[in-house]
Structure 1
Amino acid sequence: MKKWGFPLFLVFLTLFSTPTSSFANSQLFVGFNDISSHWASKYIDYLVKNHIISEADGSDTNFEPDRSITRAEFASLLVKSLGLGNTNTVTGLTYFQDVSSNNWYYGYVNEAASLGVLKGYDNRTFKPNDGITREQTAFAIMHALQYSNIAAGIGSNLQDEILSVLRDADQIINAKNEVASIINARIMTGTEDNTFEPQAYLTRAQASVVIVRFMTLLKS
């Protein structure tokens, strides 16, 4: 199992910064009409080129980077980034009562659930069209790393030190270690005012950045 981590001083140094991308100078793929001048255009373009995001077609030429990404959409990105497809139909087993076989995301959501990287709610719903929170994203990514045999989790002492920087750490409900670990791995960061905004919804642009950083870590 590969181990991944950074000295604490590097975590604090990069906690509120935006890491540069290895593809910062790459040529943009001709595609969506609304990303050419967007701050996340290179990340979105990378995912299009790697077939994680479908490229624009005649009927769908906008990416809507600043719209909240749905839980179903994020399940699709994460499963694809793991090299898996929309194939898990889980014969004879229904994970969620609000995800049916005629939904485009059925296989992706089932795959994510079977891997333990995305969970539903107590009433056996997945709420596929709801936004995914930053805390839920941290949980999903850290468990996807675990599935990929990358040990990016951290101990309680480092967790406490990292969370002590965040003014809204008390708003993290169930995934304190995952949030601290994903900051330590530099896949997600805090904001300039020392918050993580764990209950805020992730945008499609932000999700693209997270998935690219996750894929980069998988390949390292």
Structure 2
Amino acid sequence: MGLLRSIIKLCLLIIIFGLVTGCGNGQPGANGVNDGKSQEGDASAGSKAIADAWFVKMNEAAQKGDTVQIHIKDLGEYREEDRQHMAKWFFKSGAAEIGPDGRFEPDKTITRGEFVAWMFGYFNDVLSPVPPEAPVYVDVRPGHKYYAIIQRLGTDGCLPVDEDKKFRPDDYITREEAAFITKYYTRDPVVIKDIKDDSYVDFEKTLFTNYFDGDQIDPHYRTAVFLSDFEIGHALGEIRSFCPKRQLTRGQAALWLSRIIPVHKYYN
């Protein structure tokens, strides 16, 4: 009886050994397989994973003229049309930071500094400008993440410089500020003229007609808001409330910028 048990155990061991050596972790003939991943898969996963792979695929699709597919995980609440627009015009620039897990965090508010960094990278396809020799903003110090971008743009006249020479890079940007900064950055002559000679063009009637809360828009920003509305339709949506003091979210900022660039590429 004991001899029979030994024979049975030996047979089972031989069978198991044959299955293991012949399958390669469940894949017939798969030599060089390690934990179910090929060496090529390990190498690609070691580079920046989801975000990089997504950008490569998106850029290839854009070059071919194909419809770009969004693979960011948390843009579900946006319309498909808006997601495609953001992908085609904004995300492929690489200006926005996307987490390694593929999350964009569209509902998170965005600071003035980050918005300017996005805008700069988006329009110029350059993410690391040379810092100026003589910085203009007193509250943007060398250790700040966006020091080079903000100081460079301020020195070059692409961002407004107030009398106190403060930019407030870590304050959350409002919707009316976003309109003003983007119009100033794109060097709209009407906006620049209004700021320099302090003679604001009267767009109040149109703004008050388009938006229930048009009278709440700071007079300093009304020209820029009007021009943004004229270019891209109702700014940040089709509702008739602009909510000028409301903080801009990352998703809204991406959509805002993606609507502006086609207009300027068309006219330039």
* TM-score scaled by length of structure 1: 0.71
Q: Aligned letter for 1:34?
A: D
1:113-152 mapped onto 2 (5 Å cutoff) = 113-119=154-160, 123-146=164-187
Q: Hey, what's the Cα distance between the residues in 1 that align with 2:99 and 2:252?
A: 22
Equivalent in the alignment of 2:136: 95
Based on CA coordinates, which of the two structures has the bigger radius of gyration? 2
SS in 1 for 2:187: helix
Which residue number corresponds to residue 65 of structure 1? 106
Runs of at least 5 residues in structure 1 that lack an aligned partner in the other structure: 1-22
Instruction: State the TM-score, normalized to the length of structure 2.
Output: 0.60
Which is bigger in relative contact order (C-alpha 8 A, separation at least 6)? 1
Larger proportion of helix: 2
- Equivalenced residue count is 191
> Does the 8 Å CA contact 1:187/1:210 hold for their aligned counterparts?
no
Unaligned runs of 5+ in 2: 1-61, 195-199
What is residue 216 of structure 2 aligned with on the other side?
A: 171
Deviation at residue 190 of structure 1 after TM alignment: 6.8
> Are residue 33 (structure 1) and residue 63 (structure 2) matched?
no
Q: Shift of residue 112 of structure 1? A: 3.0
CA contact (8 A) 2:95 2:125 kept: no
Question: What is the CA distance between 1:186 and its match in structure 2?
Answer: 1.8
Matched letter for residue 148 of structure 2: G
Q: State yes or no: 1:186 paired with 2:228.
A: no
Identity %: 23
Q: 1:95-154 CA deviation, whole Å, 9 max, x = no partner? A: 22332223221122123323444346654332212111111111112122326x899x99
SS in 1 for 2:186: helix
Report the CA distance shift for 1:130/1:180 in structure 2 as closer, same or farther (over 3 A).
same
Output the aligned Cα RMSD.
Answer: 3.3
Q: 2:75 is aligned with what amino acid?
A: I
